[in-house]
Amino acid sequence: MNSLTQIEQQSVSVAQRLARDEDDALYVRIGKLAKTIDDHPALAFSPELDPPYKKDQMGPLEDLRDLGRKIVRKWAAALHELVCGGTDDEARKQLFSALNVSEAAAIGVVTTMLLPVLSPAIAAAVSVVIVKKFLKPAGGLICEFWGEQLETAG
């Protein structure tokens, strides 16, 4: 059994590898992970989980992509509230400092923030989308831009 520290390190490593993937591929991956973990909860703690696509068990790719988008939207909104709307100054400082270092550092911080509430494999993929879609394009106006993007994401 992996320790929590090992799971965190593996999850961050997976997330940083996923940074090369396109958003649509990440949404499908998140959908596949969610379906697989629903069917096999014991797999939830594996950061390296990457289930194959099985249409008969998972449904159409578009449905998986939509599920992945919904999951990202939910956790992007929750993280936005924590970082930008809440009173957790430490979380805000950590994230903003990481964004000033590199995309990989920001992905690592976001992954770590999501681990207490998400499966490691899902946290890894969700963190990449959040950083690429909401945080990196925002520049110095992170909270404003992120909030606007959440509103238009639906």
Domain-by-domain residue ranges, the chain? 4-153
Q: Which residue has the higher pLDDT, 68 or 88?
A: 68
Q: Which two tokens stand for residue 35?
A: 């379906």
Q: How confident is the model at residue 153 (pLDDT cuts 50, 70, 90)?
A: confident
Which bin fits 119, alpha (ψ -120 to 50), beta or left (φ > 0)?
A: beta
Predicted confidence (pLDDT) per residue in 4-61, tens digit: 889 999 999 999 999 999 999 999 999 999 999 999 999 999 999 999 999 998 999 9
What amino acid occupies position 61? L
Report angle CA 6, 83, 148 to the nearest 5 degrees.
125
> What is the predicted pLDDT for the residue at 112?
92
The model's confidence at residue 68, banded by pLDDT at 50, 70 and 90, is very high
- At residue 64, what is the residue type? L
User: To the nearest whole number, what is the mean pLDDT of the chain?
Assistant: 89
How far apart CA 73 and CA 152 sit, in angstroms, is 11
pLDDT reading at 136 higher than 90: no
Amino acid identity, position 56: D
User: What is the mean pLDDT of the segment spanning 126-148?
Assistant: 82
Question: Which residues, 6 or more positions from 82, have their beta carbon under 8 angstroms from its beta carbon?
Answer: 88, 91, 113
CA-CA distances (angstroms) from residue 54 to 59, 66, 127? 8, 16, 25
pLDDT at 140: 65
Q: Return the pLDDT at 51.
A: 96
